[in-house]
């Protein structure tokens, strides 16, 4: 997964990564928010979810300590990050700066 993850985030299109766990209650609030963001930006953004329990190397690499955590990558670099449930507005405003 780590090599595939690197290939995905190296896009010039913004890539929003939602770090979550199945046991995390606040994480369960993110899917409808992510859908709203995807509906706004369509093909101008890619959204992926990373389960922190299944991908500890990625979690460690990006120093994810609390979830949910959202990172927005572009060209392999973290362009924005937020911890906790993020609103569609907050995420959209950050993505608008990149598209």
Which residues are the active-site residues?
Answer: 24, 27
Secondary structure (DSSP) of the chain: -HHHHHHHHT-SS-EEEEEE-TT-TGGGGHHHHHHHHHHHHGGG-EEEEEETTT-HHHHHHTT--SSSEEEEEETTEEEEEEES---HHHHHHHHHTT-
């Amino acid at each position: 997964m780590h090599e595939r993850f690197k290939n995905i985030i190296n896009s010039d299109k913004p890539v929003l990564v939602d770090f979550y766990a199945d046991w995390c209650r606040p994480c369960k609030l993110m899917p409808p928010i992510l859908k709203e963001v995807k509906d706004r930006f369509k093909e101008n953004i890619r959204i992926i979810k990373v389960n922190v329990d299944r991908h500890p190397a990625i979690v460690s690499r990006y120093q994810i300590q609390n979830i949910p955590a959202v990172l927005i990558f572009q060209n392999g670099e973290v362009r924005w990050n937020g911890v906790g449930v993020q609103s569609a507005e907050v995420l959209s405003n950050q993505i608008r700066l990149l598209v």
